[in-house]
Structure 1
Amino acid sequence: MSTINTLREDICRFAGSLHARGLTHGSTGNISARTPDGGLLVTPTGSSFMTLDPARLSHFDADMTLIDGEKPTKEMPLHRAFYDTRSSAGAIVHLHSAHSVALSMMPDADEDDFLPPLTPYPIMKLGRVKLLPYFLPGDAAIGEAIRGLAGKRSAVMLANHGPVVAGKDLESAVYAIEELEASAQLAMLTRDLKPRHLTDEQVTELVETFDVEWDR
């Protein structure tokens, strides 16, 4: 199990990589991860993924009392909602990645199955992604909308805002949200080209073979 200091370094390392590759920008995006003692480390409000300081991450104890570091992201309601409804969640990543946001603004975006089935890995790593309506950033209503899913989805897309993914650990959450953005990019690139989707049978085979959470 990682020590809390290792986890601090990992959060900053992954955040820096996401920022460097343009998957979020400026002071957008936030990350949280469970500490070995059941608390949380959270990226501070107004911080940039490019310049995070491991020692200044917001540190909550197991009772969700801030015990160290700076004021956390204003998106704490969505983080809390995922942890409260998904016992398997060890980390949560929220980005403002361009292609997924663009896809969320399309008039025919599917609310129950946001990503079209173009390639296997988003299905394997994310299951079905729920498209939630637009909320004011930081609004507690985002958390309530996530709670309303009762832990059945590991990923949601906030319309006109950005994706949120819960993973068993930090690495899993980062890799999954990268798949979400890559799949959204493919969807936007091929949007008017009538691409060949995976068939229902192929999707079912993926779900059954890789034991994918698949809320029907």
Structure 2
Amino acid sequence: MSEEALLREDICRMAKSLYDRGLTAGSSGNISARLSDGRLLVTPTGSSFGRLDPARLACFEVDGKQTGGDKPTKEMPLHSAFYETRPGKTGAVVHLHCSHCVALSLLPEVDPDNMLPPLTAYSIMKLGKVKLLPYFMPGDPAMGDAIRGLAGKRSAVMLAAHGPVVAGKDLEAAVYAIEELEETARLALLTRGANPDLLSAGQIEQIVRTYDVEWD
């Protein structure tokens, strides 16, 4: 099986896993992933993660021209911004509408520069700081501009009242990271108001140094 065929299958398989576990519902969520030759595969607009067809994924050439598949997600500005600002670090982008992340984004006490409290080492290792961006109308190109404004310093952002977007070195890394984001958001909500014992500044520094985490 060719690299392209394998990636098409992997996108659909991982999307269905996310859908089956309730991490995105209906026709929400989108995924893009790069092939080694620079071409981009993207999930279609209005499609359900539970029923994706590998043959219908949109395909884009390096110059941005679509050469096959259905009409891509309207959230392409989100994906393009990560590929443009994090070259060499972004091989896939995943955007979901997972419930705990969205719920956390609505709380007034959330720090917009780092929306996740330091509850676990793995959230820091896989995500670094997660930037909370303001609300945008779905499909608004300004979402891409907001990500470009971060100058490639964040691999994960949360769109207020919308959902998380995570870039990874490959499809597997991006999926695992966004799952960690949702799990940490769930823990944050479960422990809200309970004065949880957070990781100390020293413990965070050790994780950042040991695992070369982006923490600016």
- TM bracket, shorter-chain basis: over 0.9
In structure 2, runs of 5+ residues without a counterpart are: none
Report deviation, 1:36: 2.1
Once the two structures are TM-superposed, the CA of residue 37 in structure 1 deviates from its matched residue by 1.3
Q: Distance in 2 between matches of 1:92 and 1:114?
A: 19
Q: Secondary structure at the match of 1:205?
A: helix
Report the equivalent of 1:51. Answer: 51
Match of 2:111 in 1: 110
CA distance in 2: counterparts of 1:199 and 1:158, whole angstroms: 27
2: CA distance, partners of 1:193 / 1:102: 17
Tell me which residue corresponds to 2:144.
143
Name the aligned partner's letter for residue 73 of structure 1.
T
Please say if 1:71 is aligned against 2:71: yes
SS at match of 2:41: strand
Q: Does 1:27 align with 2:27?
A: yes
2:176 matched to which residue of 1? 175
Q: Contact 1:4–1:36 at 8 Å: present in 2 too?
A: no
Task: State how far apart, in whole Å, the 2-side matches of 1:9 and 1:62 are.
Answer: 21
Give the length in aligned residue pairs: 214
SS, match of residue 208 in structure 2: helix
Q: Using the alignment, how far apart are the partners of 2:197 and 2:187 within structure 1?
A: 12
1:122 — aligned with what? 123
Which residue does the alignment assign to 1:12?
A: 12
TM-score (norm 1): 0.98
> What RMSD, in angstroms, separates the aligned Cα atoms of the two structures?
0.7
- Normalised by the length of structure 2, the TM-score is 0.98
Q: Tell me if the contact between 1:42 and 1:59 (Cα under 8 Å) persists in the aligned partners.
A: yes
Determine what percentage of the aligned residue pairs are the same residue.
68
Distance 1:149 1:98 in 2: 25
Structure 1 residue ranges, 4+ long, deviating more than 6 angstroms after superposition: none
Which digits, 9 at most, give the CA deviation of each residue in 1:4-48, with x for residues without a partner? 000000000000000000000000000000012101000000000
Q: 5+ residue gaps in structure 1?
A: none
Tell me by how many angstroms 1:175 deviates: 0.2
